[in-house]
Amino acid sequence: MLPSVRKANLMLSLFGMFKVPLIWYCRPQILEMDEQKVIVKIPLKRRTKNHLNSMYFGTLAVGADVAGGFLAIAKAEQHGKKVSLAFKAVEGQFLKRPEADVIFSCTDGKLIDQMLEQTMQSGERVNQAVTINATCPSISGDEVVAKFSLTLSLKAIQ
């Protein structure tokens, strides 16, 4: 069973604080997580803005990173396995200025399951692109303001 949203946020905060301080600095929050998706919010605040009062593209990359990787880590822990996770490639399309809090959604749970199964069976590194969509619901509803394709790279640790 995946961790509760509350526990997931604690895990994310500790990971950011001790392993990747930039994640902690941006203060992402997991809003929803299940077997198929994870939804992460990063607030638009002084520390996440650019000079145009929209979300800085580096912050958008942090949100895409968290949305693309957290589900894989949680699913691996659910199976009692440890994985080495990295991103090998990133492609981003910035469609509209995100001038409010941004919601990052990744719905590639089935793909991540397949990747985990493959790396656990073979012991080899597995690479697949996961898709993350970013929206600003408070100003543009479900309209996508940025799209990311991150090549997730997983390897089971023996």
Q: What is the pLDDT of residues 9-25, one digit of tens each?
A: 999 999 999 999 999 99
Confidence of residue 95 (pLDDT cuts 50, 70, 90): very high
State both tokens at 8.
């997931």
Length of the chain: 158
Q: Residue 139: what pLDDT?
A: 95
Of 62, 56, 69, the closest CA to residue 41 belongs to 62
- For residue range 71-83, what is the model confidence (pLDDT) as tens digits? 999 999 988 889 9
Rounded Cα gap, residues 69 and 63, in angstroms: 10
User: Is 58 strand, coil or helix?
Assistant: helix
Q: Is the pLDDT of residue 158 over 80?
A: no
**In the beta sheet, which residues pair with residue 63?**
none
Question: How many angstroms separate the CA atoms of 119 and 96, rounded?
Answer: 37
What is residue 149's predicted lDDT score, i.e. its pLDDT?
A: 98
Q: What is the pLDDT of residue 8?
A: 95
Cα(18)–Cα(157) distance, integer angstroms: 21
Question: Hey, what CATH class is 5-157 in?
Answer: alpha beta
**DSSP classification of residue 3:** P
Amino acid at 27: R
Q: How many helices (H) and strands (E) does the chain have?
A: 5, 6
Taking the C-alpha atoms of residue 81 and residue 11, their distance in angstroms, rounded to an integer, is: 16
High-pLDDT (> 90) share of the chain, %:
94
* Mean pLDDT of the 116-127 span: 95
- What's the mean per-residue pLDDT of the chain? 96
| Residue 52: DSSP 8-state | T
Q: Can you give the pLDDT at residue 2?
A: 84
Which pLDDT value is given to residue 81?
A: 86
- What mean pLDDT is predicted for residues 105-109? 97
> What is the domain partition of the chain in residue ranges?
5-157
Can you tell me the mean pLDDT for 122-135? 97
d(CA 84, CA 153): 8
For 42-75, write each residue's pLDDT tens digit. Answer: 999 999 999 999 999 999 999 999 999 999 999 9
